[in-house]
Structure 1
Amino acid sequence: MKKYPLGEFEEVVLLMVGVLYDEAYGVAIKNKIEEQLGRKVSVGAMQSALRRMESKNYLSSRKGEANTERGGRPKRYFTITAHGKKALEYNRDIRLELWRNIPGTAFEF
């Protein structure tokens, strides 16, 4: 079993939380993924991933100020936890090690 279980979509979401930093809330994360990766993301998939990663302690959240545009509901802002940073670093290191182990001849077509 993986030391830090993290799917590809979860990894992208975590990275975007880092990119957005203080402005990382559900819709902003979704829009940034769509903009930068050209990948459509449903609100449900985004909310599910954020809840799942918060339960894994990869993310923490705080409520912002309530506003009338959202019917009085506050935005929920996310930040990467120390455990989430370790998960990202672990996955990055595994990928880099795999890339380093590919023999140069593997890409000769």
Structure 2
Amino acid sequence: MGSKGKYLGEFEEMVLLAVGILANEAYGISVKNKIEEMTNRSVSMGALHAALNRLEEKEYVSSKLGEATKTRGGKRKRFYSVTTYGQQEVSDLMAKRQQLWEAIPQGAFSVRWTPDNK
């Protein structure tokens, strides 16, 4: 996992993954909706923006402003994307989690990780 100060918390991980899923359509409300859809968990915009800011500070995501639109009263959306560094962090985290699941002795849990668990 990341170096000290770059630790990725559970919610930040979900936000980072949702940004990756949404690709070029990752902006505040779309990220919120994706997390809620996939986790059945309510997400506040304040918590989401705080996580996005932390992810940007850690250099796991970058952002840019989109074009102003009439439907938003001339306001511009901030679009997020996962950086190469963020992609590496997610890959490392996934590998660590897989190692942990695979290290559970047979019979210790009623559930074991397999590549086709969904």
Larger helix percent: 1
Question: What letter is aligned with 2:89?
Answer: A
- Tell me the equivalent position of 1:101: 103
User: What residue ranges of structure 1 are gaps of 5+ in the alignment?
Assistant: none
Structure 2 residue corresponding to 1:67, chosen from 66, 69, 73:
69
Q: How far apart, in 2, do the equivalents of 1:75 and 1:58 lie?
A: 19
CA distance in 2, matches of 1:17, 1:36: 13
State the TM-score, normalized to the length of structure 1: 0.92
SS at match of 1:105: coil
Which stretch of structure 1 is more off in the superposition, 79-88 or 67-76?
A: 67-76
Q: 1:107: Cα distance to partner?
A: 2.2
Task: Name the Cα RMSD after superposition.
Answer: 1.5
**Residue in structure 2 matching 1:32, options 31, 34, 37:** 34
Aligned residues: 108
Bigger relative contact order, structure 1 or 2 (CA pairs below 8 A, ≥6 apart):
1
| Percent identical residues | 49
Alignment of 1:11-90 (within 5 A): 11-90=13-92
Q: Which position in structure 1 is the counterpart of 2:114? A: none
Secondary structure of residue in 2 paired with 1:41: coil
Structure 2 residues without counterparts, runs of 5 or longer: 111-118
TM-score by length of 2: 0.85
Give the Cα separation in 1 of the matches to 2:17 and 2:109.
28
* TM superposition outliers: structure 1 runs of 4+ over 6 Å: none
